[in-house]
Chains A and B, each alone.
Chain A
Amino acid sequence: MAEPATATPAQLIKSKKPFLNETRRSRITAYTFISPFFILFAIFGLYPILFTIYLSFFKWDALGPMKYVGFKNYHLIIDDPTFWISFSNTLIMALMGTVPQLILALFVAVMLNSAINRYKKTFRLLFFMPNITSIVAVTLVFSTMFGNNGMINWVLNSLGMDNVAFNSGWWGVKIAISTMVMWRWMGYNAIIFLSGLQSIPTDIYEASRIDGANRSQQLLFITLPLLRPFILFVTLISTIGSLQLFTEPYVFLGQSGSGATRQEGVTMVTYLYNEAFSNGFFGTAAASAVMLLIATIFFSVLNMVLSNRLGGDTGGKEA
């Protein structure tokens, strides 16, 4: 990084114009090459987020003058039952959509990775396919399946169970939406896990087999601990993703316009969207965005702490 103490021949030649020597020139080039990202991010990423925080202290309809109101926007949304419903809905659907999904994905990855699987590539492709469709398309397809007289209810009936009101019931809506999330992301996450599994060297398994470890012991004491960075990454991304749930509830419940704020399916982002673009309350919308940011940071940190704790425990048992 530092300039060499003795001048190289190249520098001697260019000593007339010391400013544009080779090092400087290549630094300028590098900064130029990376600058589009930083410029665009500053304008369209960082500035809007900082401005959102600023905006949350003002009353504003996006057109007229802004009026400073202090923490009033926060009081308003904290007193709004719909906000809390959106908050708990988001958490419930995040749990329902990610926890079973990640467990399933892990199982699928282990099975795909097992030596007895000869059709790894084909299965990988089939499991990944849901991820390429648009969420709008997914939601439309699942809407027909989850309809009152739809296929899922037909299956339930044939099994001797009653109809479930998937498009209006408190749990029904949540089950339907979480199913869409699971369907779309399970295969994707399984493939990320699979790449993690393939990065574990096989001789570790061989050594453990010589020591007399069986399959489940191997899974518990070798596979899971070594897979930890991947599990952390996938859980983190899934958590952040599910806190931002928007399109599924918006399209699924939005048939008649404002359905997206219906209590059984309103999420934090549909709440935000509605406050801003239907009601014109940019201040409270910004306050709810800040709450979403706080929730995101909280759950990301929680994720990391938990996974460290869990990792520590496995280590202890192993010793």
Chain B
Amino acid sequence: MSSAAVNKKKPDDAGIFLKILFYIFLIAGALVSIFPFYWMFVIGTNDKTGAFHVPPLLTPGKEFFNNFQRVLDRTDFFTALGNSVLVASAVTISVVFLCTLAGYAFAKYEFPLKKVLFVFVIATMLVPAQLGVLPLYVIMAKLHWIDSYKALIVPAMVNAFGIFWMRQYISSAVHSELIEAGRIDGGGHFRIFWNIAIPVVTPAMATLGILNFMNVWNDFFWPLVVLKNKEHYTIQLALQQLFTNKDGLDFGMIMSATFTATLPLLIVFLLFSKWIIAGLTSGAIKS
């Protein structure tokens, strides 16, 4: 009897108990994932002692502007934000352009050593970048790029992940017939790239751009090494600066800054999340 009843169900249907268990677990996980964002906001809007209130505070207060005023007293918050925007935009524009160009070459051209070179590109992804940090610092010193944005921008202008990403997309999205037709009509190589390939691969470029922007925006190690003057600090360095023990940690102030620095990225992410996650799941490590 009971086995007959089970057979009638759709094969993928789990028991109601399992269903509830799944959702409880997923909802708990999702809450844990977003709680720190909310906590940032709660502490940023409460007064100095808010972080250690017993029992923990869970509702926003009214102190945000007071807290943020103290941020402005201690660091050049908006300058740092501007610096980050400048550096991240410059890197992103360059990465998107150069990676698309290289990805296009790997996807649509035949040339000697193509496979070897592409495997080499992939292999560089596995080498920890921090290993070369000392000589890189020395190179920057020789070039007089210490404390300049060039040190942050130039080495990051193109990367292996981006080339890999664009190659995957271009191989399937751009039809070789179109390129050949363009060649027969006498179009130059770059013109065909610009007029035929680029319009087709804009979505992949956008995804790469956003991912790259977030990475550069969130980088801490390399700016910490090369930036000396506080006026040149990126937002991450400015945030870290607030976290000092000098006169007791003022978490209200720290969190109001952290929240303000996170908000733009959060909004951008939520606007483009469909692209980003779809991109990640389709292009990340196929083949």
Contact of A300 with B155 at beta-carbon distance under 8 Å, contacts A51-B135, A144-B39 already known = no
Q: What are the residues of chain B within 8 A of A126 when measuring CB–CB?
A: 30, 33-34
Other-chain contact of B29, A51, A108, A145 (Cβ < 8 Å): A108
Q: What are the residues of chain A within 8 A of B285 when measuring CB–CB?
A: 192, 195, 229-230, 233
Q: What are the residues of chain B within 8 A of A47 when measuring CB–CB?
A: 132, 135, 139
Bound complex: CA A166 to CA B218 (Å): 25
A256 at the interface (CB under 8 A from B): yes
Q: What are the residues of chain A within 8 A of B19 when measuring CB–CB?
A: 116
Q: Is A293 a contact of B36 with CB atoms below 8 Å?
A: no
Other-chain contact of A136, B117, B121, B124, B240 (Cβ < 8 Å): B240
A82 at the interface (CB under 8 A from B): no
Q: Is A125 a contact of B273 with CB atoms below 8 Å?
A: yes
Q: Is B225 a contact of A277 with CB atoms below 8 Å?
A: yes
Other-chain contact of A30, B33, B39, B109, B277 (Cβ < 8 Å): B109
Q: What are the residues of chain A within 8 A of B18 when measuring CB–CB?
A: 116
Other-chain contact of B132, A45, A187, A198 (Cβ < 8 Å): A45
A274 at the interface (CB under 8 A from B): no
Bound complex: CA A195 to CA B279 (Å): 10
Q: Is A141 a contact of B243 with CB atoms below 8 Å?
A: no
Q: Is A247 a contact of B251 with CB atoms below 8 Å?
A: no
**Those 5 A-B pairs whose CB atoms lie nearest each other, nearest first:** A48-B132, A195-B281, A30-B109, A33-B105, A115-B12
Q: What are the residues of chain B within 8 A of A243 when measuring CB–CB?
A: 128
Closest chain A CB from B248 CB (angstroms): 11
Q: What are the residues of chain B within 8 A of A41 when measuring CB–CB?
A: 124, 160
Bound complex: CA A149 to CA B280 (Å): 39
User: Which residues of B232-248 are within 8 A (CB) of A?
Assistant: 235-236, 239-240, 243-245
Q: What are the residues of chain B within 8 A of A292 when measuring CB–CB?
A: 128, 130-131
A-B contact count (CB 8 A): 277
Residue picked from A124, A149, A195, A243, most chain B C-beta under 10 Å: A195
Q: Is A130 a contact of B36 with CB atoms below 8 Å?
A: yes
A127 at the interface (CB under 8 A from B): yes
Other-chain contact of A147, B52, B128, B286 (Cβ < 8 Å): B52
Q: Is B135 a contact of A52 with CB atoms below 8 Å?
A: yes
User: Can you name the residue of chain A whose Cβ is closest to the Cβ of B50?
Assistant: A144
User: Can you name the residue of chain B whose Cβ is closest to the Cβ of A293?
Assistant: B131
Bound complex: CA A117 to CA B12 (Å): 11
Stretch at the interface among A86-94, A170-178, A282-290, A306-314: A282-290
Residue picked from A114, A130, A151, most chain B C-beta under 10 Å: A151
Bound complex: CA A126 to CA B127 (Å): 30
Q: How many residues of B contact A (CB 8 A)?
A: 99
User: Can you name the residue of chain A whose Cβ is closest to the Cβ of B56?
Assistant: A151
A159 at the interface (CB under 8 A from B): no
Residue picked from B19, B139, B160, B285, most chain A C-beta under 10 Å: B285
Closest chain A CB from B15 CB (angstroms): 10
User: Can you name the residue of chain B whose Cβ is closest to the Cβ of A62?
Assistant: B138
Besides A37-B99, A123-B26, A187-B33, 12 more A-B contacts (Cβ < 8 Å) are A22-B183, A29-B109, A34-B106, A55-B134, A116-B14, A117-B26, A129-B266, A192-B285, A209-B11, A273-B225, A286-B134, A292-B130
Q: Is B126 a contact of A240 with CB atoms below 8 Å?
A: yes
Stretch at the interface among B59-67, B69-77, B198-206, B254-262: B254-262
User: Can you name the residue of chain B whose Cβ is closest to the Cβ of A111?
Assistant: B22
Q: What are the residues of chain B within 8 A of A19 when measuring CB–CB?
A: none
Interface size class of A (residues with CB under 8 A): 35 or more
Contact of A300 with B255 at beta-carbon distance under 8 Å, contacts A183-B33, A195-B280 already known = no
User: Can you name the residue of chain B whose Cβ is closest to the Cβ of A194?
Assistant: B281
Q: Is A134 a contact of B101 with CB atoms below 8 Å?
A: no
Q: Is B132 a contact of A127 with CB atoms below 8 Å?
A: no
The 0/1 profile, CB within 8 Å of B marked 1, for residues 19-42 of chain A is 000100111011101101110110
User: Can you name the residue of chain B whose Cβ is closest to the Cβ of A44?
Assistant: B155
Other-chain contact of B273, A22, A128, A199 (Cβ < 8 Å): A128
User: Can you name the residue of chain B whose Cβ is closest to the Cβ of A49?
Assistant: B132
What are 17 A-B pairs with beta-carbon distances under 8 A? A27-B112, A29-B105, A45-B124, A116-B14, A116-B19, A124-B277, A127-B30, A130-B33, A132-B214, A133-B218, A134-B261, A154-B54, A191-B280, A192-B285, A195-B282, A255-B249, A272-B133
A266 at the interface (CB under 8 A from B): no
Contact of A246 with B221 at beta-carbon distance under 8 Å, contacts A134-B239, A140-B243 already known = yes
User: Can you name the residue of chain A whose Cβ is closest to the Cβ of B218?
Assistant: A134
Q: What are the residues of chain A within 8 A of B240 when measuring CB–CB?
A: 136, 251, 254
Q: What are the residues of chain B within 8 A of A1 when measuring CB–CB?
A: 110, 112
Q: What are the residues of chain A within 8 A of B128 when measuring CB–CB?
A: 240, 243-244, 292-293, 296
Bound complex: CA A130 to CA B32 (Å): 10
B196 at the interface (CB under 8 A from A): no
Q: Is B32 a contact of A48 with CB atoms below 8 Å?
A: no
Q: What are the residues of chain B within 8 A of A254 when measuring CB–CB?
A: 240, 243
Other-chain contact of B54, A52, A107, A149, A199 (Cβ < 8 Å): A149
Q: Is B102 a contact of A26 with CB atoms below 8 Å?
A: no
Q: Is B14 a contact of A137 with CB atoms below 8 Å?
A: no
Q: What are the residues of chain A within 8 A of B34 when measuring CB–CB?
A: 126, 129
